[in-house]
C-alpha cells in the first residue's frame, strides 16, 4: 500500500477504529500509540551488483504498558491527524510504500507491509504481513526460476559466483 492510499483510507474511514492484525487473528493491542513516522530513502546494491533506490514510510506502533486494559482503539481520524501533523513538518513521498514497525513479547519486532484492508465489525482492519527476503539478481546468480520459487535459501552461496 502506498502512503497516498493509506492516507485516503484513513480519510474515508475517519469514524472507524483503526485495528492492526499483525498475524492471523493476532491484533496489536488497543493500547497502541503511533510513536514515530520515518521517511526512509533506501539506496541499495543487490548481490548481482545492480543499484536500486526507493522510498518507504515506516510507522512505528508501540503498546503502552500503562494502558494495558484499554479496549477502545485509536480512530482512523486520530491516526490521520497524527499523519497530517507529520506531513506538515516533513512532506511525504506519497508514492512510497507504507510499512508498520511493530513487535511485542510474542512477536519479534519487524517491519510489516499492508497485505489487505477491510471493514470488519465496523472497524478498519489492516492485515499486516512480513516480507520474505529474496534474491533480486536471480539471473546473474544463475538461480533457475523453478528453484527460485521453491527455495527460500539465499542465492548468493559461495559457489554461485554472483557475490
Expressed as residue numbers, the domain containing 144 is 134-163
Query: What is the chain's mean pLDDT, rounded?
Result: 90
pLDDT in tens, 60-111: 999 999 999 999 999 999 999 999 999 999 999 999 999 999 999 999 999 9
Q: Are residue 125 and residue 148 in the same domain, yes or no? A: no
Smallest CA-to-CA distance from 10 within 62, 64, 87, 69 is with 87
Q: Strands of the chain (E only): list them.
A: 17-23, 26-27, 32-45, 51-63, 97-104, 107-120, 123-129
Residue 155 pLDDT: 52
Report helix, strand or coil for 11: helix
Q: Are residues 110 and 160 in the same domain?
A: no
pLDDT in tens, 134-155: 888 887 777 776 654 544 444 5
| Residue 24 shares a structural domain with residue 97 | yes
Residues 75 and 152 in one domain: no
Least confident residue range of 22-26, 56-60, 139-143: 139-143
User: 3-state class of 30 per DSSP?
Assistant: coil
Both 81 and 153 in a single domain? no
- CB neighbour class for 22 (10 Å; exposed up to 12, middle 13-18, buried from 19): buried
- The pLDDT of residue 133 is 83
User: What is the number of domains present in the chain?
Assistant: 2
Amino acid at each position: 500500500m502506498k502512503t497516498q492510499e493509506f492516507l485516503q483510507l484513513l480519510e474515508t474511514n475517519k469514524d472507524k477504529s483503526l485495528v492492526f492484525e499483525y498475524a492471523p487473528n493476532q491484533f496489536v493491542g488497543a493500547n497502541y500509540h503511533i510513536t514515530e513516522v520515518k521517511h526512509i530513502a533506501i539506496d541499495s546494491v543487490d548481490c548481482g551488483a545492480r543499484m536500486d533506490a526507493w522510498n518507504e514510510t515506516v510507522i512505528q506502533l508501540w503498546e503502552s504498558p500503562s494502558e494495558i486494559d484499554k479496549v477502545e482503539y485509536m480512530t482512523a481520524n486520530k491516526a490521520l491527524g497524527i499523519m497530517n501533523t507529520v506531513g506538515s513538518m516533513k512532506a511525504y513521498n506519497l508514492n512510497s510504500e507504507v510499512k508498520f514497525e511493530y513487535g511485542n513479547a510474542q512477536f519479534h519486532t519487524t517491519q510489516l507491509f499492508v497485505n489487505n484492508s477491510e471493514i470488519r465489525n465496523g472497524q478498519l482492519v489492516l492485515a499486516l504481513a512480513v516480507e520474505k527476503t529474496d534474491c533480486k539478481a536471480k539471473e546473474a546468480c544463475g538461480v533457475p526460476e523453478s528453484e527460485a520459487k521453491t527455495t527460500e535459501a539465499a542465492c548468493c552461496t559461495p559457489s554461485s559466483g554472483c557475490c
